[in-house]
Structure 1
Amino acid sequence: MPQEHRLGTYLRDRRERVDPAALGLGGTRRRTPGLRREEVAQRAHISTTWYTWLEQGRGGAPSGDVLERIAHALMLTDAEREHLFLLGLGRPPEARYREPAGITPRLQRVLDALEPCPAIMRTAIWDVVAWNRAATVMLIDYGSLPPERRNILRYLFLDARARDVQYDWLSVARYVVGAFRLDAARAGAGKAVEALVDELCRASPEFNTLWHEHDVGSHGEGIKHIRHPELGPLSFEYSAFAVDGRPDLSLVLYNPVDPADVERIAARLRKGR
């Protein structure tokens, strides 16, 4: 089946699955399920003729803006919207950042099951929204911080404790700023980034300098060295994972490099119970 016909078939299928009553359109007799083509076109602010052509596979390549409006008109989920763009343009839609709504109990149980390895959930602008006990003991007690301070960049640049535990704070800071810049851009988090960057540029000359160097990098994996106040030098291999169905979140896992440190950390966690 040609690509344009796959797009048309998908549009027609999604249109027929929409409940008109959910949109206040259930008052008239309908011979077919779902919305009428003219109703989708009206909601998407495009002509009925062109929308009909799209369903018939002869409307030409739609723009990203048109697909965005059609996705809204059909009330598509994030996964359905992505599929629509892949069919229509051969690429996923532009990222759109949304404020995180927290995590589910299931995701928290995943974090807890990873102990004794520290693990956190962070957003695209590096707000930490969940963590396990190992992260509290080995990294920082995020629960002791007010929600607006649970941000990795705020901690790194504005909290003296971050400098105490790093062996080469400046190198770590430069790396974090570059990785943060890339993550935030991927997520389309422009407005949220502006507010955070403005705050940090005013409060930290070091951040201001590093931000205006415009370096970028990836935080997918690497080695983290810290000086723990009780256990001394520790090294962790860290890996960042996307959370399926939650494009606003990443899971970051810190796995001790030395197997002996696993038991040392586990013993420290048992001590804190």
Structure 2
Amino acid sequence: MTTTQRRRPELAAFLRGRRARVTPADVGMPPGFRRRTPGLRREEVAQLSGVGVTWYTWLEQGRPINASAQVLDAVARTLRLDPPEREHLYRLAEVPFEPDPERMTQTVGPEVQGIIDALDPMPAVVYNSRYDVLATNPAYRDLFTVPQARGLAVPNVLWTLFTVSEETCPLVHRERELPVMVATLRSHYGRHVGEPAWEGFVRRLSAASPYFAELWASGEVIQPGRRVKTFRHEAVGEVRLNSQSLSVDGMPECRIVVYTPEDDMSRARIALLRQHREPLWPPTEEGVHEIIRMWQTENPAS
């Protein structure tokens, strides 16, 4: 049995079940007489959705008919489907699903914030697919706070990296890392072509940074993945970190990015930042090596 043959009965059962739970009163219709079930009739769903009765009947019967995204959205509104149910309808009908662009996540709940806070002293951040910064932990702010970017009203890591001067940019090897980030951005952009928020962001950043405009015009696409990145900090010097992305249930197109030290020197310098979080002071090279010796004494097996 093909995938389509398996999905069509599921689609039929799903539509019947959701139709049965919507009453005429829910959609502003009189109850009528001799109604055998509390839910809507097929012809009522078709009328409210602006589709033909025969077409909707065939859809609910699981027949192999084509459905567009616009028609499925109309049916979803009539049946009062929530976002997960709407996505399920699309999957069963074998129509490419695109999340509502207006529902793009811009905040995180206390549970996710608690998770990344608990990762301290490892830097952690929550990004959406546009690299908007949704949440950070203290270690991330220790390492990646850029004084030159404090006056920017754009909480977006790409905006920061492309608009601050190269001397103050926390990312070492910009010529290697920034193209990867832009290619990752473009891989997500495909879902949002034409959306004002995305088009405006790309347009404004292109105007602010010729280098971004050049990379964007290249058209390169890549998926996010594990990388070793080198960052610099005025207080402790260079730090080499592994970056690992983790998806978050219930937050489409969002990920937690966690940075773990690549070597002993980087681990010691991250510890030094935490120890001297308030205030941050530039240590001597001798002081850094002392921290390393202390850390190795306390962690002999590492």
Q: TM-score, normalised by structure 1?
A: 0.87
Cα 1:34/1:229, change in 2 over 3 Å: farther
Which residue type is aligned with residue 124 of structure 2? A
- Helix, strand or coil for the counterpart of 1:166? coil
| Mapping 1:211-230, distance limit 5 Å | 211-230=216-235
Check if 1:133 corresponds to 2:162. no
- Helix, strand or coil for the counterpart of 1:272? coil
Partners of 2:127 and 2:194 in 1: CA distance: 14
Which residue type is aligned with residue 73 of structure 1? T
- Helix, strand or coil for the counterpart of 1:69? helix
> For 1:193-227, what per-residue CA distance to the aligned partner results, in whole angstroms no more than 9, with x for missing partners?
21011112222111121111111122222111111
Deviation at 1:238, TM superposition (A): 0.7
Deviation at 1:9, TM superposition (A): 0.8
1:231 to 236, 239, 252: 236
- Helix, strand or coil for the counterpart of 2:84? helix
- Helix, strand or coil for the counterpart of 1:247? coil
Alignment coverage as a number of residue pairs: 271
Cα 1:22/1:146, change in 2 over 3 Å: farther
Cα 1:76/1:147, change in 2 over 3 Å: farther
What RMSD, in angstroms, separates the aligned Cα atoms of the two structures?
A: 2.7
- Match of 1:6? 10
> For 1:117-168, what per-residue CA distance to the aligned partner results, in whole angstroms no more than 9, with x for missing partners?
11111122111111111110011279x8478411112101112277543322
Gaps of 5+ in 2: 279-302
> For 1:225-272, what per-residue CA distance to the aligned partner results, in whole angstroms no more than 9, with x for missing partners?
111222212111111222212114221111111256445424432432
| Mapping 1:185-196, distance limit 5 Å | 185-186=190-191, 190-196=195-201
Which residue type is aligned with residue 110 of structure 1? I
Partners of 1:131 and 1:189 in 2: CA distance: 29
Cα 1:166/1:264, change in 2 over 3 Å: closer
2:19 to 10, 15, 18: 15
Which residue type is aligned with residue 93 of structure 1? F
> For 1:49-74, what per-residue CA distance to the aligned partner results, in whole angstroms no more than 9, with x for missing partners?
22122212236232333223222222
- Match of 1:160? 165
- Match of 1:83? 88
- Helix, strand or coil for the counterpart of 1:239? strand
Cα 1:164/1:7, change in 2 over 3 Å: closer
- Helix, strand or coil for the counterpart of 2:218? coil
Check if 1:94 corresponds to 2:94. no
Equivalent pair of 2:241/2:260 in contact (CA under 8 Å): yes
- Helix, strand or coil for the counterpart of 2:227? strand
Check if 1:56 corresponds to 2:61. yes
Partners of 1:269 and 1:28 in 2: CA distance: 69
Which residue type is aligned with residue 77 of structure 2? H
Deviation at 1:26, TM superposition (A): 6.3
Which residue type is aligned with residue 78 of structure 2? A
> Which structure is richer in relative contact order (CA contacts within 8 A, separation 6 or more)?
1
- Match of 2:115? 110
| Mapping 1:242-257, distance limit 5 Å | 242-257=247-262
1:68 to 67, 73, 80: 73
Which residue type is aligned with residue 63 of structure 2? R
| Mapping 1:161-180, distance limit 5 Å | 163-180=168-185
Deviation at 1:101, TM superposition (A): 4.2
Cα 1:22/1:121, change in 2 over 3 Å: farther
Partners of 1:248 and 1:269 in 2: CA distance: 30
Partners of 1:52 and 1:8 in 2: CA distance: 10
Which residue type is aligned with residue 94 of structure 1? E
Cα 1:21/1:188, change in 2 over 3 Å: farther
Q: TM-score, normalised by structure 2?
A: 0.79
Which residue type is aligned with residue 47 of structure 1? G
- Helix, strand or coil for the counterpart of 2:205? helix
Larger Rg over CA atoms? 2
